[in-house]
Structure 1
Amino acid sequence: MTTSKSAPQEQPVTAELCDWVTSLQASDIPTHVLQRAKHLILDGIACGLVGAHVPWSEKCIDAIDDYEPAGYCSVLDSNKKYGPLAAAILNGAFIQAVELDDYHSAAPLHSASVILPALFAAAEVQSHGSQKQPRRVVSGLELLTAAIVGFETGPRAGAAMYGAELLSRGWHSGPIFGCPAAAVAAAKLLNIDSAATESAIGIACTQAGGLMAAQYEGMIKRVQHAFAARNGLFGALLARNGYLGIRKVFERPYGGFLAMFSQGNGREPPYQPEEVIAGLGRVWQTTHIRVKLHACVGGCHGQVEALERLQETYPDRFALENLQQIQSMRVALSEPVFAHDGWVPAERPLTATGAQMNAAYIGAAQLVYGQVLLEQFDAAALDDDRVWELIRKTTCVRDEEFDRPNHLCGARVVVEFADGVTVEETVVMPRGFDPPITDEEIREKWRRLARTVGDNARMQRLEEAVLSLEDLEDVSDLFALIRG
């Protein structure tokens, strides 16, 4: 890999993206993309409703409530309302709170936790009105179209920086790619023109950041995608009233978004501005957003499924009472997943955040509990002797086989037993990648999660409202159901 000697030539990709955003109509979007987007919204709401009630989310709303005045923007499963930016932070933190939300496996970000908080707040800004901006009712179809704009933009911004490469270098990629995604989504819903949308993107991108060291301890990792939601919303709200942002923020070689976050990556060229607009209107990234079936980092889903297969193939050897016979376990991962999740735990117990980002813990939990869901990250599981015995026997390594495009979340697991027998399993692409999780499976996931947080009648009405968004005349009806 060689170091670049010169940046790519400027291409007017920012303006072209903004022209596409402002001109896009719902009728331009294929029916299957509209349908998938509704299910992604449903999944994001489900994750947020569950995530609103975990301890770190309750701590977040308690802290914000202590200083933030009441406002008019809704918060998931809460009777409290705040200003637009605070509401976006809380809703994003809730959707990302339990690691069950969506992910894009090629350009890693969690789209719902970035897009939905920005849109929910922007819609209520519109319906509330102000001295300078008249009140306007927002329809479900407008919300759906704006969501797709955001779903399409985030992965493209990520691809322009080689997707998971940022993650390999220790950046939390989603809060970075998510800033322009939230900006264009909010700008679309606020109905601002192409020039103002470009300002919104520039304002959002100059706020971008996110340190992946947040995964080891603390609570702030849960909020970092929400930063992107807030940054994009803030950019769109400023631009709506004529505040000028950075122009050409994607293509500028000095101080531009792609140029700065690509520094030191050793690539040639260091970034690819053309990826920002590649396939717009033809290739729909919305359909490439993955829905999680395991409550952990998406990069380890291949590892979980390799262990599931081994448990099914060798039920006696992997019976709970025989796990002490495991001598060693070797987990081969792609470069970004190894850098992100292949670290050796230094403290016991891990925090819930750290455990959900640690391949050794995730694999051990699968073997002990037969699943990786929310209960595998409660206090008892995090300090389970059986889990920690297996963690100490686990070694994670990087394998270039999984560095190939679309293989980043794959894994190979090799288990050696005390009697010398070795078994192994490889998962090239985890479930939900190819083919993707079906809409029916997303609805099933929604119903499983919804049963844990609200009365059945409300959850049924909420599901119906989301899945018929194109027929909803006023999204205020949706927000009333979200609040509960």
Structure 2
Amino acid sequence: MRLHTAHLEGFGAAVNAVIGIEESRECHIWGWEKTLPPLTAASLNGTFIPSFELHDWHDSAPLHSNSILLLALFAAAEHKNAKSRASIPGSDLLLSTISAGIVEDALGIACTQAGDLIMQHGFAARNGLCAALLAKGGYVGIKGSFPRAPGKDPPYLIDEVCKAFGNTWQLEGIRVKKHSAMAGTHCMIECIAALQDEYPDALIELGEWAFDHGGWGAKRPLNGDSRIDGGQRLMKHLEAPKSIPPGLSNQDILEKWRAITVTVIDDEKRRKIENVVLHLEGLDDLAELAELLKGKTANSIAR
């Protein structure tokens, strides 16, 4: 049956596009001295980001949009640069030359990855094979995937997708985390910091929704004491963590970047990356930043 349909109208374009993607190996794996095709490079680089909760987040939902978008843009930039040998300025962001029709087609193809349409079978086969090969290679997946406890009811807020469309810009809700931890714990972290200015030990309770999303069941004995002398219980209330109002300043973000990279790259490389990112709109070619991100880095938690 597959031989019968392999040359139907339109499939030739799909075959040629995929061959062009898979035959290329010009996209860097960040922190490694290796290159891969754009789709695979974007997948691996995207896997690295959430491991230490370093991604961005949205203050109304658990979304990490920039952490996805930037990976795709970098891979697309390196792929396009290798194909056309043309520089891609930082102000371009690759999409300015894509027509509305191509954007519509791309959205349609993306939707087929979750729906019962032509390419859905192909995407399902690819994802299943990828999962099997990763597991065979030693990569560890989530345990206890089946059965899962029931989620929220209703699971989706469909009306929110297009609510105030064209009037409310969700970009304004994207935040940079002050702490490398799940956003729901940031208030707790800042409460601890405030209380520790006065007391060496403090009891801080994690909210129920935050525990459900990222908590874990503690097993006794636990190290440390949760109460101060005399058994007094301390309480601290914050309306929101600093990441929301007023949000991190550029200097806060820069200091965080320096703190989390001090053990993984040398000072010279860190300064070069800083300079490029802080002047990104004037960059002549995004490949310059991609070049700085390649090369082996140190393990941030190795002893």
Q: What TM-score do the two structures reach when normalised by structure 1? A: 0.45
Which of 319, 340, 360 does residue 213 from structure 2 map onto? 340
Distance change in 2, residues 1:272/1:122 (3 Å)? same
SS at match of 2:288: helix
Q: Which residue of 2 aligns with 1:308?
A: 193
Deviation at 1:73, TM superposition (A): 0.6
Are the aligned partners of 1:73 and 1:81 in contact in 2 as well (CA < 8 Å)? Answer: yes
Matched, 1:434 2:245: yes
Matched, 1:331 2:281: no
The 2-side partners of 1:311 and 1:92 are apart by 36
SS at match of 1:271: helix
The 1-side partners of 2:92 and 2:264 are apart by 28
Are the aligned partners of 1:70 and 1:81 in contact in 2 as well (CA < 8 Å)? Answer: no
Q: Which residue of 1 aligns with 2:262?
A: 451
Distance change in 2, residues 1:342/1:466 (3 Å)? closer
Residues 202-241 of structure 1 deviation map (CA, whole Å, 9 limit, x = unaligned): 33244369xxxxxxxx8547xxxxxxxxxxxxxxxxxxxx
Are the aligned partners of 1:93 and 1:113 in contact in 2 as well (CA < 8 Å)? Answer: no
Between the two proteins, the alignment pairs up a number of residues equal to 243
Q: Which residue of 1 aligns with 2:184?
A: 299
The 2-side partners of 1:333 and 1:437 are apart by 23
Which of 149, 167, 172 does residue 279 from structure 1 map onto? 167
Matched, 1:468 2:279: yes
Distance change in 2, residues 1:138/1:270 (3 Å)? closer
SS at match of 1:107: coil
What amino acid is aligned across from residue 123 of structure 1 in structure 2?
A: A
Q: Which residue of 1 aligns with 2:90?
A: 140
Deviation at 1:420, TM superposition (A): 4.1
Residues 25-65 of structure 1 deviation map (CA, whole Å, 9 limit, x = unaligned): xxxxxxxxxxxxxxxxxxxxxxxxxxxxxxxxxxxxxxxxx
Counterpart mapping for 1:176-255 below 5 A: 188=95, 191-207=97-113, 219-220=140-141
Matched, 1:101 2:55: yes
Counterpart mapping for 1:63-82 below 5 A: 71-82=25-36
SS at match of 2:234: strand
Deviation at 1:94, TM superposition (A): 1.6
SS at match of 2:92: helix
In terms of fraction of residues, the more helix-rich structure is: 1
The 2-side partners of 1:208 and 1:109 are apart by 18
The 2-side partners of 1:75 and 1:345 are apart by 36
Q: Which runs of 5+ in 2 are unaligned?
A: 1-21, 116-138, 143-150, 296-303
The 2-side partners of 1:417 and 1:448 are apart by 31
Matched, 1:126 2:80: yes
The 2-side partners of 1:441 and 1:208 are apart by 39
The 2-side partners of 1:204 and 1:263 are apart by 25
Which of 41, 44, 63 does residue 90 from structure 1 map onto? 44
SS at match of 1:307: helix
Q: Which runs of 5+ in 1 are unaligned?
A: 1-67, 147-187, 210-217, 222-261, 319-325, 349-384, 391-414
Are the aligned partners of 1:73 and 1:84 in contact in 2 as well (CA < 8 Å)? Answer: yes
The 2-side partners of 1:200 and 1:117 are apart by 17
The 2-side partners of 1:94 and 1:276 are apart by 34
Which of 261, 265, 276 does residue 154 from structure 2 map onto? 265
**Greater radius of gyration (CA):** 2
SS at match of 1:141: coil
The 2-side partners of 1:453 and 1:112 are apart by 22
Deviation at 1:452, TM superposition (A): 1.7
The 2-side partners of 1:90 and 1:265 are apart by 32
Task: Detail structure 1 runs of 4+ shifted over 4 Å in the superposition.
Answer: 218-221, 415-418
The 2-side partners of 1:96 and 1:342 are apart by 16
SS at match of 1:275: coil
What amino acid is aligned across from residue 281 of structure 2 in structure 1?
A: E
Residues 121-148 of structure 1 deviation map (CA, whole Å, 9 limit, x = unaligned): 111121122xxxx5543111112xx6xx
